[in-house]
Structure 1
Amino acid sequence: MEKINLTEDVLVQIIDEQAVIVSPSGGIITTVNETGAFILQFLKNNNNASTEKLVEALQSEFDAPKDIIENDVVSFIDIMLTNKIVSKI
Protein backbone atom coordinates (compact mmCIF):
# COMPACT_ATOMS: atom_id res chain seq x y z
CA MET A 1 0.00 0.00 0.00
CA GLU A 2 1.49 3.32 -1.09
CA LYS A 3 1.73 6.18 1.38
CA ILE A 4 1.37 9.83 0.44
CA ASN A 5 3.11 12.85 1.98
CA LEU A 6 3.21 16.54 1.28
CA THR A 7 6.54 17.41 -0.34
CA GLU A 8 8.89 18.91 2.26
CA ASP A 9 9.06 22.43 0.85
CA VAL A 10 5.31 22.77 0.18
CA LEU A 11 3.37 25.34 2.18
CA VAL A 12 -0.40 24.98 2.55
CA GLN A 13 -2.64 27.68 4.02
CA ILE A 14 -6.39 27.15 4.42
CA ILE A 15 -8.43 30.29 3.69
CA ASP A 16 -12.25 30.25 3.52
CA GLU A 17 -12.52 26.50 2.79
CA GLN A 18 -9.90 26.71 0.04
CA ALA A 19 -6.20 25.95 0.21
CA VAL A 20 -3.44 28.18 -1.09
CA ILE A 21 -0.46 26.05 -2.09
CA VAL A 22 3.11 27.26 -2.56
CA SER A 23 5.50 24.72 -4.06
CA PRO A 24 8.97 26.15 -4.68
CA SER A 25 10.29 22.88 -6.15
CA GLY A 26 7.30 22.65 -8.49
CA GLY A 27 7.39 26.38 -9.25
CA ILE A 28 3.70 26.70 -8.39
CA ILE A 29 1.43 28.97 -6.40
CA THR A 30 -2.19 27.86 -6.74
CA THR A 31 -5.47 27.28 -4.94
CA VAL A 32 -7.74 24.25 -4.63
CA ASN A 33 -11.38 23.89 -3.65
CA GLU A 34 -12.86 22.66 -0.36
CA THR A 35 -12.32 18.98 -1.16
CA GLY A 36 -8.72 19.56 -2.23
CA ALA A 37 -8.17 21.65 0.90
CA PHE A 38 -9.54 18.81 3.03
CA ILE A 39 -7.16 16.31 1.39
CA LEU A 40 -4.12 18.57 1.81
CA GLN A 41 -5.00 19.38 5.43
CA PHE A 42 -5.43 15.64 6.10
CA LEU A 43 -2.00 14.94 4.60
CA LYS A 44 -0.49 17.80 6.61
CA ASN A 45 -1.88 16.28 9.83
CA ASN A 46 -1.37 12.60 8.92
CA ASN A 47 2.10 11.88 7.56
CA ASN A 48 2.34 8.76 5.40
CA ALA A 49 -1.41 8.57 4.76
CA SER A 50 -2.73 5.88 2.45
CA THR A 51 -5.27 6.47 -0.30
CA GLU A 52 -7.65 4.25 1.67
CA LYS A 53 -7.37 6.48 4.76
CA LEU A 54 -7.99 9.55 2.62
CA VAL A 55 -11.12 7.97 1.14
CA GLU A 56 -12.40 7.02 4.62
CA ALA A 57 -11.81 10.56 5.90
CA LEU A 58 -13.60 12.09 2.91
CA GLN A 59 -16.54 9.69 3.29
CA SER A 60 -17.00 10.85 6.88
CA GLU A 61 -16.90 14.51 5.79
CA PHE A 62 -18.78 14.53 2.47
CA ASP A 63 -21.96 12.84 1.27
CA ALA A 64 -20.85 11.07 -1.90
CA PRO A 65 -20.59 7.46 -3.10
CA LYS A 66 -17.33 5.68 -2.25
CA ASP A 67 -16.43 4.98 -5.89
CA ILE A 68 -16.78 8.67 -6.80
CA ILE A 69 -14.60 9.66 -3.83
CA GLU A 70 -11.96 7.06 -4.75
CA ASN A 71 -11.81 8.30 -8.35
CA ASP A 72 -11.58 11.92 -7.21
CA VAL A 73 -8.80 11.14 -4.71
CA VAL A 74 -6.75 9.24 -7.30
CA SER A 75 -7.17 12.05 -9.86
CA PHE A 76 -6.32 14.76 -7.33
CA ILE A 77 -3.24 12.91 -6.04
CA ASP A 78 -2.04 12.33 -9.62
CA ILE A 79 -2.25 16.08 -10.31
CA MET A 80 -0.48 16.87 -7.03
CA LEU A 81 2.27 14.33 -7.86
CA THR A 82 2.79 15.86 -11.31
CA ASN A 83 3.19 19.29 -9.71
CA LYS A 84 5.51 18.01 -6.94
CA ILE A 85 3.07 19.01 -4.20
CA VAL A 86 2.87 15.47 -2.80
CA SER A 87 5.12 12.44 -3.05
CA LYS A 88 4.57 8.71 -2.70
CA ILE A 89 6.72 6.51 -0.48
Structure 2
Amino acid sequence: MMSTQKPEHILPYSIRLLTIKQVLNRCLEDGYFDCHKKEDVIYNKAIIKLCLSDSRASDEFMAGGNGFRFRNHKKDKKGKLVSVEAYLPEK
Protein backbone atom coordinates (compact mmCIF):
# COMPACT_ATOMS: atom_id res chain seq x y z
CA MET A 1 0.00 0.00 0.00
CA MET A 2 1.43 3.39 -1.01
CA SER A 3 1.69 6.18 1.52
CA THR A 4 -0.37 9.27 0.74
CA GLN A 5 1.96 11.53 2.72
CA LYS A 6 4.00 14.09 0.84
CA PRO A 7 7.68 13.03 0.67
CA GLU A 8 9.89 14.84 3.13
CA HIS A 9 12.98 16.64 1.83
CA ILE A 10 16.21 14.84 2.68
CA LEU A 11 17.75 17.62 4.82
CA PRO A 12 14.82 18.08 7.25
CA TYR A 13 14.40 14.32 7.38
CA SER A 14 18.05 13.69 8.21
CA ILE A 15 18.04 16.40 10.89
CA ARG A 16 14.88 14.96 12.45
CA LEU A 17 16.28 11.44 12.34
CA LEU A 18 19.57 12.53 13.93
CA THR A 19 17.69 14.33 16.71
CA ILE A 20 15.61 11.26 17.47
CA LYS A 21 18.72 9.11 17.59
CA GLN A 22 20.45 11.57 19.95
CA VAL A 23 17.46 11.60 22.29
CA LEU A 24 17.22 7.82 22.35
CA ASN A 25 20.96 7.45 22.92
CA ARG A 26 20.74 9.90 25.81
CA CYS A 27 17.90 7.79 27.23
CA LEU A 28 20.03 4.68 27.04
CA GLU A 29 23.04 6.39 28.63
CA ASP A 30 20.99 7.79 31.51
CA GLY A 31 19.20 4.50 32.16
CA TYR A 32 15.73 5.75 31.23
CA PHE A 33 14.83 2.29 30.00
CA ASP A 34 16.24 0.52 33.09
CA CYS A 35 13.40 1.41 35.45
CA HIS A 36 12.45 -0.74 38.40
CA LYS A 37 9.14 0.92 39.22
CA LYS A 38 6.16 1.18 36.88
CA GLU A 39 5.70 4.85 37.83
CA ASP A 40 9.24 5.66 36.68
CA VAL A 41 8.48 4.17 33.28
CA ILE A 42 5.39 6.36 32.93
CA TYR A 43 7.29 9.55 33.83
CA ASN A 44 10.19 8.66 31.53
CA LYS A 45 7.88 7.93 28.60
CA ALA A 46 6.23 11.31 29.11
CA ILE A 47 9.62 13.04 28.94
CA ILE A 48 10.59 11.12 25.81
CA LYS A 49 7.29 11.96 24.09
CA LEU A 50 7.77 15.64 24.93
CA CYS A 51 11.35 15.63 23.63
CA LEU A 52 10.29 14.06 20.36
CA SER A 53 7.57 16.68 19.84
CA ASP A 54 9.27 19.86 21.15
CA SER A 55 12.72 21.10 20.15
CA ARG A 56 13.09 23.20 23.33
CA ALA A 57 12.45 20.10 25.42
CA SER A 58 14.98 18.15 23.34
CA ASP A 59 17.58 20.84 23.99
CA GLU A 60 16.85 20.77 27.72
CA PHE A 61 17.08 16.98 27.79
CA MET A 62 20.34 16.84 25.82
CA ALA A 63 21.85 19.42 28.19
CA GLY A 64 21.02 17.09 31.09
CA GLY A 65 18.52 19.52 32.52
CA ASN A 66 16.09 18.80 35.30
CA GLY A 67 13.53 21.40 34.27
CA PHE A 68 10.77 18.98 33.36
CA ARG A 69 7.50 19.15 35.27
CA PHE A 70 4.45 16.89 35.13
CA ARG A 71 0.71 17.48 34.98
CA ASN A 72 -2.53 15.70 34.10
CA HIS A 73 -1.82 12.71 36.32
CA LYS A 74 -4.33 9.94 35.63
CA LYS A 75 -4.81 6.97 37.92
CA ASP A 76 -6.72 3.72 37.56
CA LYS A 77 -9.42 2.49 39.94
CA LYS A 78 -6.77 1.07 42.28
CA GLY A 79 -5.04 4.43 42.53
CA LYS A 80 -2.01 3.48 40.44
CA LEU A 81 -0.60 6.01 38.01
CA VAL A 82 -1.41 5.14 34.38
CA SER A 83 -0.47 8.32 32.49
CA VAL A 84 1.07 11.73 32.94
CA GLU A 85 2.02 14.68 30.72
CA ALA A 86 5.49 16.22 30.85
CA TYR A 87 6.04 19.94 30.19
CA LEU A 88 8.65 22.65 30.55
CA PRO A 89 7.62 25.72 32.53
CA GLU A 90 7.85 29.04 30.68
CA LYS A 91 10.97 31.01 31.52
* TM-score normalized by the length of structure 1: 0.30
* TM-score normalized by the length of structure 2: 0.29
* Structure that is richer in helix per residue: 2
Structure 1 or 2, whichever has the larger Rg, is: 2
* Structure that is richer in strand per residue: 1
Between 1 and 2, higher relative CO (CA 8 Å, sep ≥ 6) is seen in: 1
